[in-house]
Each structure stands twice: as structure tokens, then as C-alpha cells.
Amino acid sequence: MNVTRVTFPSGALTGHGRVQAVVPSEAGDVVVLDETPFHPVDHTWPDQPGDAGTLTAADGSVDVDEAVMAAVGDDGAFAIGADIPIKRGGEGWTWLVGHRLLAPAPEWLVPGIEVEATVDAAYRAALSRGHTACHLSSLALDAALADLWRKDVASDPLGHPDFEGRAGQSSRIGSDSAVDEYRLGKSLRKAGFDTAGLADTLAERESSINETLAAWVASGAASRVVTDGPTIVGRRRWECNLPEGLVSFPCGGTHVDSLSAFAAITVVLDLSDPELLVMTTTAVPAA
């Protein structure tokens, strides 16, 4: 079996691939292609859901519920999603994209046939807006909290103290939305972050973030995914030409081509738990 080539980093929504395997699974049969435009959910950091869509051949069409990571070990063991025991790209495994079906695979869907793979364009666009908005919100959050640090820490791509990198606990991308959680525990306070100061000025910080996001959306800055190879294990980065400068950091998801895709991006900060900051991001697509 060959490592799966992917075309989603360029924004592709359709393509042709040859079926390499059809693997039965309790959660739904998984079809592995040698090439696909589908973006799969990452098994180690599942922030962005996998694409949905269809696989079509001369004898029919099947619905794909979600694209997932899959891998085959050198010993022949086949693993899907969370059952993969190592991070993407690890040695000793062939890395694949699986397409989990909504119904059992039909008889015509067998290894060797070529199918047309079509991604649900509206869903992909909504997830891409959600993911880009998530990154922008985290950068704006870093900027808004910069004065709360009492010690030197690593910087984010814009030169602000990297609160996201230090405190980030989880991130979930949705359609035109994202929810990020940040742990404000003892280790963060020892690193020099003023958690009490954040609690006292939460509304001001939220307002600052939203002002920054409004300016970035108004800039219509270019946004893109850069990859160093055509396979699913190729390293990928998100880049955006913000007014303050180019930002670039590793990211395996999908993104908009320009911030003109947004009418607005706003966040709400929640500190109901004094040791857990929750940032909810909402994106409004441009008309």
C-alpha cells in the first residue's frame, strides 16, 4: 500500500483516486485511496473535523461521513484514527487517508477501481473559516494579554508572549466557530503570568481582542497553506500577511485564501472557572 497523496492544501475539492483498501469497522467501513482532496481529522490533535462528501464510480456513489487518518505498520497491522499508536509521520508505518462511509461499502467498491472524490464544499468552507478565525483569535489573545507577563517567555509569530503555546489545553474547530481552552494553573503563574490581573480586566481584554480582529478582517490579508510535499505526512504551515507582518506556523488544517472571506470575527472570554479560560470564536462569512 502506498502513502496517500493529498490535494486539499491547495484548496482542491474534487479529484480522482484509486481504492487501495476497504476496511470493515464498527464505526463504518473505511475506504483508503492513493490520492484524495479530503482533509482527514488528525488522530493526535483532532481540532478540525475531517471533510465529508462522496465517492463516485460508474456503478454508483457512496456518502463519506468523515475523512480520517489511517496507517499500516510494517508488520501489516492496520489502524484507524485514535487506534494509531504513534504520531503522524512516525517510522515503520505507511500513512493513509481513510474515508469513513455512512453505510456499508457496496459490492462494486473494491480495491483497484478508480473513484471520483468530491468534498462537501460548503462544509469545507465553513471549517476553513473556523480554523483561520481560531488562529487569528489566538494571536489577538496573545497581544491582548502581553502586559500580564512578569517574566520573559517564548514569543508568538508577531513577537508577543506566547500565551497560546504556554496555556493552550484544547482547541475545537466548528463551522464558522472555534472553542479554545487555556489552563491557568500553578505552572503558568510560576512562569510569570498574572492570572489575577486577567480576572480583574477580562472585559477589557475581550474588547481589545475584538478590536484587533476587526482591523485584521478589514485588511483583507492573504492567507494560505504551504506544504513541503504532496503526501499526508508532508509538513504544512499556515501563513497570513497581517498588517503587523507575516505570520507562519505549523498547521495541518484547511484555511481561507483571504481574510476578505469574513464579514466579522468576534470572541467571548469566559472565566467561570478561575483556572480555565475559555475563548469562543464566531466567524461571520462575507456575503
Domains of the chain, start order: 5-119 (2.40.30.130), 123-285 (3.30.980.10)
CB 34, CB 4: distance < 8 Å: yes
Identify the pLDDT of residue 26.
86
CB 178, CB 171: distance < 8 Å: yes
Distance between CA atoms of residues 177 and 122, nearest Å: 14
- Which helix (DSSP H) or strand (DSSP E) does residue 129 occupy? helix 121-144
Identify the pLDDT of residue 250.
96
Burial 97-118 (b: 16+ CB within 10 A, else e): bbbbbeeebeeebeeeeebebb
CB atoms near residue 267 (< 10 Å): 24
DSSP codes joined into one string, 141-154: HHHHTGGGBSS---
pLDDT by residue for the chain (287 residues), tens digit each?
A: 999 999 999 999 999 999 999 999 888 999 999 999 999 999 999 999 999 999 999 999 999 999 999 999 999 999 999 999 999 889 999 999 999 999 999 999 999 999 999 999 999 999 999 999 999 999 999 999 999 999 999 999 999 999 999 999 999 999 999 999 999 999 999 999 999 999 999 999 999 999 999 999 999 999 999 999 999 999 999 999 999 999 999 999 999 999 999 999 999 999 999 999 999 999 999 99
- List the grid coordinates of 193: 503570568
Contacts of 182-187 with C-beta under 8 Å, sequence gap 24+, read 182/276, 182/277, 182/278, 182/279, 183/275, 183/276, 184/274, 184/275, 184/276, 184/277, 185/275
DSSP codes joined into one string, 152-205: ---B-TTSSB-HHHHHEEEEEEETTEEEEEEE--HHHHHTTB-HHHHHHTHHHH
